[in-house]
Amino acid sequence: MQLQKTILSKPVPMIGMLGGSLLAIHYVLHLAYGFQTGKILWDDMSSPLGVIDGSLFTAAFATIDLTLIALAMAYYRQLNGLKYGVLFFGIVAFLAAITGFVAVTFWHMIPYVMPIACLAMFISAILLSIACLKPRLLPTWVRFGLMAFGLCTAPLGFALPKVLATLPMYATFEMHFLPSGLLWVAMGIAMSLQRRKQLQAIKEYYAPAYQEPATRVSQS
């Protein structure tokens, strides 16, 4: 029986779920603001709700970036050379997201910071998905989920307002982050379940070694 050499630390799936939840909340705030005012929240980022939303949005990116970095480090020995790209773009995205968080929370959003964070985060997710395909370190649909997140989130942002043109603009603006956020919540749950299975497998693998001496003592 071969055991997985590396087991994800408990916080990693939870951080991913947190990032996904924050992305989903980001869209809910936009939707709620739109229902009340008929406007887009991003047009009123100087308001208290706009500052809260900006902080949530940038924090969501930072936590997802942190998850990508943590996954690359957890499976560092098993991943191929793409891990360096995962780490590089993940760190760039994380630093940009943290910069955006500090700026929007205590000052105002700095131009081009979050687009850089977005692009670097998507590239990191795509590279991690490719790097995990052969060694199969993550559940299958999680590997493809990372790929879908990296490839489809931005195109959805352009497509949804056109496909759902009958809906108000505030309803479709930032809508693409809702499925992306829910995807990260689901991937976090899947990684958490995988971790439990790995821990249970290790427990069952080593259990006979601890039971045998006890059996001998009872027989004597």
Instruction: Report angle CA 50, 12, 176 to the nearest 5 degrees.
Output: 40
Identify the pLDDT of residue 137.
Answer: 84
Split into its structural domains, the chain has a count of 1
What's the pLDDT score for residue 165? 93
Averaged pLDDT in 10-residue chunks for the chain of 220 residues: 58 95 96 93 88 95 97 91 97 97 89 94 97 85 95 96 94 95 96 87 70 50
User: Residue 200 is part of which domain span?
Assistant: 11-219
Of 24, 129, 116, 149, the closest CA to residue 71 belongs to 129
Instruction: List, in order, residues 6 or more apart from 91 with CB less than 8 Å away.
Output: 65, 69
- Phi/psi for 207 (5° steps) reads -60, -45
Q: Please list, residue by residue across 126-141, b when 16 or more beta carbons sit within 10 angstroms of its beta carbon and e when fewer do.
A: bbbbbbbbeeebbbee
Q: Is residue 5 part of a domain?
A: no
Q: In this predicted structure, what is the pLDDT of residue 2?
A: 40
| List of residues 6+ apart from 163 with CB closer than 8 A | none
**What residue type is assigned to position 53 of the chain?**
D
pLDDT value at residue 94: 98
Q: How far is CA 206 from CA 4, 21, 193, 199, 203, in A?
A: 14, 37, 20, 11, 6
